[in-house]
Amino acid sequence: MKLLWTVVGKELLDNARDRRTLASALLFGPLFGPLLFAVLISVVIQQTVSDVERPVTLPVIGAEHAPNLVAFLERNGFDVQDWSKDAGAAREAVQAGREDVVLVIDPAFGERFQAGLPARVQLIQDASAQRAARNVNRTRSALGAYSSQLRAMRLQARGVSPEILSPVVIDDVDVSTATGRAALLLGMITYFLLAAMLMGGLYLAIDATAGERERGSLEPLLTLPVTRSTLLVGKILATCCYMLLSLVITLVAFAVGLSFVSLEELGMSANFGPEVVVLGFLLMAPFVLLGAALMTLVASFTKTYKEAQTYVGVLIVVPTLPILFAAFLSVKPSALLMTVPSLSQHLLMTALIRNEPVDPGFAALSVISTLALGVLVTWLATLFYRREGLMG
Amino acid sequence: MIEVEGVSKRFGKVEAVRSVSFSAEDGRITGLLGPNGAGKSTTLRMLYTVLRPDGGRARIGGRDVVREALAVRRSMGALPHGAGLYPQLTARENIAYYGRLHGLEGAALARRIDDITRLLDLGEFIDRRTKGFSQGQRTRVALARALVHDPQHVLLDEPTNGLDVMATRALRQLILRLREQGRCVLLSSHVMQEVAALCDRIVIIAHGQVAASGTPDELRQRYAENDLEEVFVRAISRVGDPQ
């Protein structure tokens, strides 16, 4: 036992003096995620807020044919620009993305209108342009509103109740809570937490295995009266320490960073107080052993530092796959999914941030199954470390 | 006392060591001499318990290197070929780490490190990080690390590799001192002169086999040759490469 802590202590000290390890464990890993996230959310907020307030610029061809319609649009927050160009030029402008939408009023509009016949307008738009969709929708609904307003007036003029034309009324009831909507974005936090943890242990895991061999310090180490299992478990535990440190820093950085971002403007509220930091730590921490053991196992298969970096780099992506899968299929927490490491942490963490109740049974299942898998991989790694080929 | 009886080792199709037998006594310096790739390092690696022999058996201090590996490691200090240090740790910390893993601690460990620092003349750089040490400094620290627990058996794989004249001389003096203290020293080398100047017994290895062994005088007599280098050349040419 004392020998084990000697190994842990040495690895911690050795790596604490290595700037690269420290930077990746304490700086890049933990702070990159929260920073990127804060910037991303700020941009989203700015766009959403300004989109609502900004009047839609709407070029209109043939505005003189329907002065009432133009007046209606202007009253409803449209900046109507009278275009003397033809429809061909309008098509080009929309295709090139210079304009989001162009309204073309038929020259016969007034005539048909007077006659009580359907009057025609053209909405030139590019359905594939995501950015324009908002302005197109606003224009379309404004035209719809104008149309139904007139319909009601015409029916009333003929002594018919407008209600007769509305046999079914649809009321949209939006049940997504503000926190729920935020969670979609906040779901990314788990990914950043996992990535930061793995980054934190990455260099130590490589240095303690492939690095040790490349330096030539492995062979003399193996001539000491310490079992190889003790050495390897010590190295894995040292990796765990760095990963836990990264996790704490990342959680705190998120808590601090999100307190500066006004999520309320997006109609969201993120639940990321001290309580979530503590609970989140307890939920995510079991993943540390599994991550450290996996990285150490993979790194001890490789012959050089460079080779190890390549393979362990790939390994860092693996825990994000279940999260990706969950995002696409929008899975709900279940007992079975709680046995999948990284996915279970993601689901529980997301629930925590959404301010939803976290099932203690699910949490226990996640902690136990992830820890069990971590112990299993640690055991596999010690088996592998006993192999003679380790010497290369 | 190191006893090796018919030890062999193969890596895939290559038979690196074929039924090697010899012994190294306490208070004697025994040299494994052979050309590069003869199997010296593989033999030593089996003795310092990093590799397992495929056949035969070896005992160090009466203990089997496979079945009692941990006990063997306690009574042995090894300097593997090209032994590396931890560059971020100071020389003292490098030595202390090995001392702790040998069960030393506290004042006993500190005293032992002071002794060995004096013995190997490490004082100048003992508290500097080993990053950027010269080859000679590195070898001295690695040797100090191997001797920190005062082992009865000392195994050195090509210890003078990369050392300059002064460092080689200092190392030779240290090895002679270990002999005076009654330790069992086993070292490997491919340099004839070095082995001739230092060793009480020479084991000449070629193609994974023992080609000849004995004291330098015995070897000279057996081959009726005054020049040890000639003895060496004739001995190794006697053992053909079967592969």
Among A339, A35, A340, CA closest to A192: A35
How confident is the model at residue A175, as a pLDDT?
53
Chain A residues whose C-beta sits inside 8 Å of any chain B C-beta: 3, 6-7, 10, 13-15, 17-18, 215-220, 222-227, 388, 391
Distance between CA atoms of A345 and A358, rounded to whole angstroms?
A: 11
CB A220 within 8 A of CB B101: no
Q: Is B85 in CB contact (< 8 Å) with chain A?
A: yes
User: CATH 3.40.50.300: which residues of chain B?
Assistant: 1-75+152-168+180-243
Section A99-114 average pLDDT = 87
Distance between CA atoms of B29 and B111, rounded to whole angstroms?
A: 27
- Strand spans (E) along B66-214: 76-79, 153-157, 184-189, 201-206, 209-214
How confident is the model at residue A183, as a pLDDT?
54
Q: Is B235 in CB contact (< 8 Å) with chain A?
A: no
**How confident is residue A51, by pLDDT bands cut at 50, 70 and 90?**
low
Sign (positive/negative) of CA torsion A85, A100, A142, A73? negative
B83/A224 touch (CB, cutoff 8 Å), yes or no: no
- How far is CA B220 from each of CA A330, B225, B226, rounded to the nearest angstrom? 84, 5, 6
How confident is the model at residue A172, as a pLDDT?
62
What is A55-173's CATH superfamily?
Answer: abc type-2 transporter like domain (3.40.1710.10)
Nearest residue, CB atoms, A226 vs list B51, B78, B101: B101
Q: Which residues of B128-137 are buried (b: 16+ CB within 10 A; e: fewer)?
A: ebbeebeebb
A223/B86 touch (CB, cutoff 8 Å), yes or no: no
Contacts of B71 in chain A (CB under 8 A): 225
CATH 2.30.29.30 fits B1-75+152-168+180-243, yes or no: no
| ipTM metric | 0.93
Among A231, B42, B154, CA closest to B142: B154
Contacts of B78 in chain A (CB under 8 A): 220, 223
Among B98, B64, B59, B94, CA closest to B78: B98
B80/A391 touch (CB, cutoff 8 Å), yes or no: no
Q: Is B70 in CB contact (< 8 Å) with chain A?
A: yes
Residue with tokens 């306490």: B26
Higher-pLDDT residue of A303, A184 = A303
A14/B76 touch (CB, cutoff 8 Å), yes or no: no
Nearest residue, CB atoms, B84 vs list A18, A216, A222: A216
Largest CA distance in chain A: 104
How confident is the model at residue B52, as a pLDDT?
92
Distance between CA atoms of A89 and A98, rounded to whole angstroms?
A: 11
Q: Is the pLDDT of residue A267 over 80?
A: no
Among B62, B34, B72, B79, CA closest to B185: B79
Contacts of A222 in chain B (CB under 8 A): 49-50
Instruction: Count, in order, helices (H) and strands (E) of chain B.
Output: 9, 10
Q: Is the pLDDT of residue A66 over 90?
A: no
Pairing of strands A56-61, A121-125: unpaired
pLDDT tens, per residue, chain B with 243 residues: 999 999 999 998 889 999 999 999 999 999 999 988 899 999 999 999 999 999 999 999 999 999 999 999 999 999 998 889 999 999 999 999 999 999 999 999 999 999 999 988 899 999 999 999 988 899 999 999 999 999 999 999 999 887 888 888 888 999 999 999 999 999 999 888 888 889 999 999 999 999 999 999 999 998 888 888 888 888 888 776 554
Give residue limits of the domains in chain A.
2-46+179-391, 55-173
How confident is the model at residue A115, as a pLDDT?
84
